[in-house]
Amino acid sequence: MKTIISVVGARPNFMKVAPLHKALQKYGDSIRHVIVHTGQHYDEAMSKVFFDDLELPHPDVYLGVGSGTHAEQTAKIMVGFEKVLQDRKPDLVVVVGDVNSTVAASLVSVKMGIRVAHIEAGLRSFDRSMPEEINRLLTDGIADLLFVTEPSGVRNLEKEGIPREKIFLVGNVMIDSLKHYQAKAASSAIAQQLGVERGKYTLVTLHRPSNVDAVEGLRKIVSMFEAIASRSTIVFPVHPRTRKMLEQHGVGASANAIRNLLLVEPMGYLDFLHLLERAQLVLTDSGGIQEETTYLGVPCLTLRENTERPITCEIGTNELCGLDVEKILRKSFEVFDGKMKKGRVPELWDGNTSDRIAAILNSKI
């Protein structure tokens, strides 16, 4: 019996590991799958929602590292995860995405002679001011198996000197979760509770420091909301970081005064997917939401200067706008006037990516 440890640390990781966990159950006679939650992001109520929504078993190991600086958090994860590896002695460690847990677990594993598989490898924004970009580069440089979501990822890894035999273009595990839970999400009552109708609201997620840490950025966002709210109700599940900055910079009152702007608490995966699929427009600075809107055919404006998921702009429904308020409003009003960008679903984003990964892991372990 071989042991595979999958590491989760932040909210998006759950959506990526859940379908892989299901796929690995088919190899239960030969593979033991262990889930380690570092606790990089942890909220008791929200974690329960993750496990319930995604039908994930509770983690076999919970490290509880909590928040801190990048150095503090990474160090705590490395110390805690080293003990897990000494105890469990896995044959392979699976890391996903680009959070601190990803790079920390990879470094510890490789130094202990344990092979690493990276899901979502090869994604590049080419912006090294983003902590996530550093995490991606380091993890890909030391991983043994690199599972890639889109062709640009393969090209990036080859340019960086990664041997082709380590690289596997398999598709997107986030889409596996989306497809699997679409029907279940359809029964959510969240739209009814918020009083919004399909195709008549704009869904917003914003949390990146480049957008929400400075008062200038927040003022631009609030002015943008004022204009958009004249044409479309805005539903904004507010990330704790963003809520803190709104109050800290004294912009919260201006936001609360906007009619048709619904500032709501963060929500579970099924409720959010329900709103995402039915939105008229999505404004975000998240990576995964760019992919989900492309799959769903929902217009998406990304409030960033770059994206590590270029296929969402090349053939999908996504457009980069930065914090250019004039451009955001122009593109938003085009959508409201029925002139939205049309897109198509990338190859291999078919809901079967986790099965492909599990088969490769089983053959390589």
CATH of the domain at 168: 3.40.50.2000
**Domain containing 41: what range?**
2-172+349-364
Q: Kindly state whether residues 74 and 13 are assigned to the same domain.
A: yes
- Find the range with the poorest average confidence among 1-5, 36-40, 108-112, 360-364: 36-40
In this prediction, residue 325 carries a pLDDT of 97
Q: Kindly state whether residues 295 and 202 are assigned to the same domain.
A: yes
Could you tell me the pLDDT band of residue 53, with boundaries at 50, 70 and 90?
confident
Length, in residues, of the chain: 365
Q: What is the mean predicted confidence (pLDDT) over 69-79?
A: 94
Q: Kindly state whether residues 258 and 353 are assigned to the same domain.
A: no
- Distance CA(136)–CA(202), nearest Å, equals 31
Q: Is 162 within a domain? A: yes
How many angstroms separate the Cα of 243 from the Cα of each of 164, 237, 288, 289? 44, 10, 21, 20
- Distance CA(40)–CA(54), nearest Å, equals 19
Q: Kindly state whether residues 122 and 218 are assigned to the same domain.
A: no
Q: Kindly state whether residues 99 and 230 are assigned to the same domain.
A: no
The number of folded domains in the chain is 2
Mean per-residue pLDDT over the chain, rounded: 94
Q: Kindly state whether residues 318 and 239 are assigned to the same domain.
A: yes
Q: Is the pLDDT of residue 121 over 70?
A: yes
Could you tell me the pLDDT band of residue 48, with boundaries at 50, 70 and 90?
low
How does DSSP assign 255-318, residue by residue? HHTSTTEEEE----HHHHHHHHHH-SEEEE--HHHHHHHHHHT--EEE-SS--S-THHHHTSSE
Could you tell me the pLDDT band of residue 106, with boundaries at 50, 70 and 90?
very high
Contacts of 326 (CB under 8 A, 6+ apart): none
Tens digit of pLDDT for each residue in 337-348? 999 889 999 999
Q: Kindly state whether residues 241 and 165 are assigned to the same domain.
A: no
Q: Kindly state whether residues 164 and 202 are assigned to the same domain.
A: no
- Residue identified by tokens 């995966």 is 269
In this prediction, residue 177 carries a pLDDT of 95
Q: Is the pLDDT of residue 334 over 60?
A: yes
Q: Is 177 within a domain? A: no
Q: And the tokens for 356?
A: 């492909």
The gap from C-alpha 25 to its chain's centroid, in whole angstroms, comes to 24
Give bridge partners of residue 318 from the DSSP assignment. 300
Q: Is 344 within a domain? A: no
Q: Is 343 within a domain? A: no
**Predicted TM-score (pTM) of this structure:** 0.94
In this prediction, residue 50 carries a pLDDT of 65
Q: Is 287 within a domain? A: yes
Which residues are designated catalytic?
A: 207
In this prediction, residue 201 carries a pLDDT of 98
Give the closest residue to 298 by CA, choosing from 321, 275, 314. Answer: 275
Could you tell me the pLDDT band of residue 46, with boundaries at 50, 70 and 90?
low
Q: Kindly state whether residues 131 and 210 are assigned to the same domain.
A: no
Q: Kindly state whether residues 148 and 204 are assigned to the same domain.
A: no
Q: Is the pLDDT of residue 65 over 90?
A: no
How does DSSP assign 90-150, residue by residue? -SEEEEETTSHHHHHHHHHHHHTT-EEEEEEET-----TTSHHHHHHHHHHHH-SEEEESS
Q: Is 268 within a domain? A: yes
Q: Kindly state whether residues 308 and 354 are assigned to the same domain.
A: no
Could you tell me the pLDDT band of residue 124, with boundaries at 50, 70 and 90?
very high
Q: Kindly state whether residues 157 and 74 are assigned to the same domain.
A: yes
Helix H segments across 160-251?
173-186, 190-194, 209-212, 215-228, 240-248
Q: What is the mean predicted confidence (pLDDT) over 311-325?
A: 97
